Amino acid sequence: MDRLPSTAFDGPTSDDITYQIGLIWDQIKAPLIVPSLRLMVFICLAMSVMLFIEKVYMAIVIVLVKLFGRKPENRYKWEPIKDDIEIGNSSYPMVLVQIPMYNEREVYQLSIGAACGLSWPSDRIIVQVLDDSTDLTIKSLVEMECQRWASKGINIKYEIRDNRRGYKAGALKEGMKHSYVKQCDYVAILDADFQPEPDFLWRTVPFLLHNPDIGLVQARWNFVNSDECLMTRMQEMSLDYHFKVEQEVGSSTYAFFGFNGTAGVWRIAALNEAGGWKDRTTVEDMDLAVRASLKGWKFVYIGDLKVKNELPSTFKAYRYQQHRWSCGPANLFRKMVMEILKNKKFHVITSWKKFHVIYSFFFVRKIVAHVVTFVFYCVVMPATVLVPEVGIPKWGSVYIPSIITLLNSVGTLRSLHLMVFWILFENVMALHRTKATFIGLLEAGRVNEWVVTEKLGDALKAKAAAKVPKKPKLRIGERLHLLELLVGAYLFFCACYDFAFGKNHYFIYLYLQAIAFFIMGFGYIGTFVPNS
């Protein structure tokens, strides 16, 4: 039977809809899409060059530091504190050790035990536990642990507040108000999962004692659970670069770097002169460091002094941590950029140091690095597959990214074989870092969100090992992450289009990156701890 001719009453066919979409696309592509995409490519290439120059510069500096042996002991006066028979322990400065914590059931014993085990004259040290716990059971356990150490002769103070105003910054600020703090010269800050070696104070305090212009001594983090899963290995690669290169370069060249919030010792006079702790951002540690630097205080980083701590091993905890670490610096940059520019203490902070803090420390590392990683490699580059009129030069799509990646890898040589996984992982996390960066710059809704990073500790691992493993019942909402899935779908579509019609062979990278987004979108990364 012959097919009847279509009439005006027939519905649109799929061919008609495809034709209409294609027609609309052709009409807007030349005047709108192509120029806009070219502009985005130009901006992304410019940011890539900025990041490339920064990485090469730091690589050159770190090589020179290693070649010429510019260790802190060679740049500043350092000698062990000697006993004085006449005045006894009074030759040792009084040190306050602060441990802020919040519902730290799994690690509170480790941190308190490590602080109480520090080798220092017992009458010249005060351990201060700042407990903001809202769980009454945990609060009781922490108090009992403090009483146990007090019964052994340790000068330990258990301090609580009736609110959590200011979160960690608020707790540290309140801790400094107690009368016994006035007799202290220095304050060591240790987060609840940090376990310093007994000689921690012996190696840090002499820098402060013999160099009156030094305000902060920062130690390096050493991750006890880096081999727990692939996600912790990826974190180790990123953080090792930060500690082995970024902090070392800042300390060696400008005597300035961002305080890491823990595993550091402050001169209390420097802390007070800088204005003390402020809770205006979620990076109170960086805020204090910048303000102290503007007052002329110098910082020292000791790369070979390692303090054990724990990496977040659940994807949920890591996402919250990265939001805070990305949103806070961007928001602090917004708040402090004019204050830095207007600083008139030329004898204290030079124009070159101002440039370093504003451009290198804040703009390139805290903003450009996040934005270009996600926008360029996960949005703009895939979009050029759909718009072949816009091309990306090979130096921008291959050479510069490859060199940056290789320079980043020097921090953790043992994980070189995981380089491809690390690249894909970092690109996925750049989605959250970029979002958090814009939230900080615009002071949007979640700008002051503070979620304490969950620690699993050894207790939970031992408990899990003792039990017969059971297959957990998973809730879709616990694992599903919509943003990752949407970006993964976009990349997968671009990969398929490039495979069918493209000439750049981007589809190899796009398929791999799409898979990475899907894996993390469905939550199959990190340690999964089901709700009890």
* Spatial separation of the C-alpha atoms in residues 76 and 92, rounded to whole Å: 19
DSSP state of 181: G
Q: Are 278 and 218 in contact (CB under 8 A)?
A: no
- Long-range CB pairs of 368-372 (<8 Å, 24+ gap) are 368/47, 368/50, 368/51, 369/51, 370/326, 370/430, 370/433, 370/434, 370/436, 370/437, 371/47, 371/434, 371/437, 372/44, 372/47, 372/48, 372/51
- Indicate if the alpha-carbon torsion angle 113, 117, 123, 125 is positive or negative: negative
| Catalytic status, residue 285 | yes
C-alpha of 191 from chain center? 15
**By three-state DSSP, how is residue 318 classified?**
helix
Among 131, 132, 193, 287, which one carries the catalytic annotation? 132
Among 191, 193, 279, 285, which one carries the catalytic annotation? 285
Whole-angstrom CA distances from 375 to 54, 371, 387, 429 are 19, 6, 16, 12
* Spatial separation of the C-alpha atoms in residues 363 and 369, rounded to whole Å: 9
Closest CA to 343 of 294, 296, 309: 294
Place of tokens 């009368």: 179
Neighbours of 311 (CB within 10 A): 25
* Spatial separation of the C-alpha atoms in residues 475 and 531, rounded to whole Å: 9
Q: Helix H segments across 70-125?
A: 72-75, 108-116
* Spatial separation of the C-alpha atoms in residues 393 and 129, rounded to whole Å: 56
Closest CA to 315 of 236, 229, 419: 229
* Spatial separation of the C-alpha atoms in residues 478 and 471, rounded to whole Å: 15
* Spatial separation of the C-alpha atoms in residues 246 and 218, rounded to whole Å: 13
* Spatial separation of the C-alpha atoms in residues 240 and 211, rounded to whole Å: 28
C-alpha radius of gyration, the chain, whole number: 27
C-alpha of 106 from chain center? 22
* Spatial separation of the C-alpha atoms in residues 173 and 170, rounded to whole Å: 5
- Burial code (b: 16+ CB inside 10 Å, e: under 16) for 360-392 equals bbbbbbbbbbbbbbbbbbbbbbbbbbbbeebeb
Cα atoms found within 13 Å of the Cα of residue 54, Cβ hemisphere only? 25
- Residue 251: left if φ>0, alpha if ψ -120 to 50, beta else—which one? alpha
- Longest CA span, the chain: 117
For residue 299 the two structure tokens come to 């910082």
Which neighbouring-strand residues pair with 221?
307
Catalytic residues: 132, 285
